[in-house]
Amino acid sequence: MRFLVSIIVCMLVMPLTIMAAIPEKPAYNSYVYDKANVISDDVEQNLIRAAKALEGSTGNVIVMMTIDTIGDLAPYEFGTEVIRKWGIGDEKLNNGMLIFATTDQGPGKNDVWISVGEGLEGDYPDGLLGSMVDTYMMPYLENGDYTNAFANIFSTFYEEMGGDAGGADLVKPINEDDDWPIALIIFIVIIYLSLSKFGGGGPGGRRRAARRIYRAGGFSTGGFGGGGRSSGGFGGFGGGSSSGGGAGRRF
């Protein structure tokens, strides 16, 4: 009898534990939820604009999150529940993705994880996601650099998915050795995108080599163009993907 009561108590407590660890869905429309406040403001705004452009050109929805802790939840559980609770991605296409990292779980105990909906699982199986985390995020996260970790991984997904900023490819990468003033870079980007509107973009279904804007792995302050269509009131949120897989690391 005592064993049965323990099972019932566990069944009642576990959903409450999960609910307590999952942040409330933000009331504002954004693709970046920097609760831990570790991503620089200018890069955060660029990521939001770029994620909107990605959804507008591909339909895929990527949400990025920093949070102090996920409590006792496993990263897979946390990522799965956030995708479901927040409704990330299209309900039919299951094309949502969540990239999150914790900040206050202690050295060697923080989690970085990428969860994907079933519609993206074929292109991004667990093994590939783990390799991408190792390559594009871990070198920065191990040094406490969340800004460049998220800028780097998102820029990679943007290129892989064929993101298209308003029908124009992004400007060529900027080497760290370049001494061009930021103001000049921004001016070139604006002129390039403006002229491209008259020239027209390529076929919408073609995977583009969307070039990244980098300085030490992060976005420059030039930014991206705006997005096209929106599949939901919250950047595609509302429908909800069925979480398909995920991978990550501890740091």
What is this structure's pTM? 0.69
Amino acid identity, position 227: G
d(CA 128, CA 113): 12
Q: Where are the alpha helices (DSSP H) in the chain?
A: 2-21, 41-58, 75-86, 118-121, 126-136, 138-141, 146-161, 182-199
Q: Could you tell me if 152 and 217 are in contact, meaning their C-beta atoms sit under 8 angstroms apart? A: yes
Q: How much is the pLDDT for 191?
A: 58
Angle at 49 between CA 237 and CA 137, to 5 degrees: 85
Continuous segment of H or E residues that includes residue 122: none
Strand duo 96-102 + 111-117: pairing? antiparallel
Domains of the chain: 29-165+234-245 (3.10.310.50)
d(CA 120, CA 97): 8
Q: How much is the pLDDT for 56?
A: 94
d(CA 77, CA 135): 23
Amino acid identity, position 169: D
d(CA 147, CA 113): 16
Q: How much is the pLDDT for 203?
A: 32
Task: Give per-10-residue mean pLDDT for the chain (251 aa).
Answer: 46 46 83 97 95 95 98 96 95 96 97 97 97 98 97 96 59 41 55 50 35 39 37 51 84 97
Q: Could you tell me if 141 and 112 are in contact, meaning their C-beta atoms sit under 8 angstroms apart? A: yes
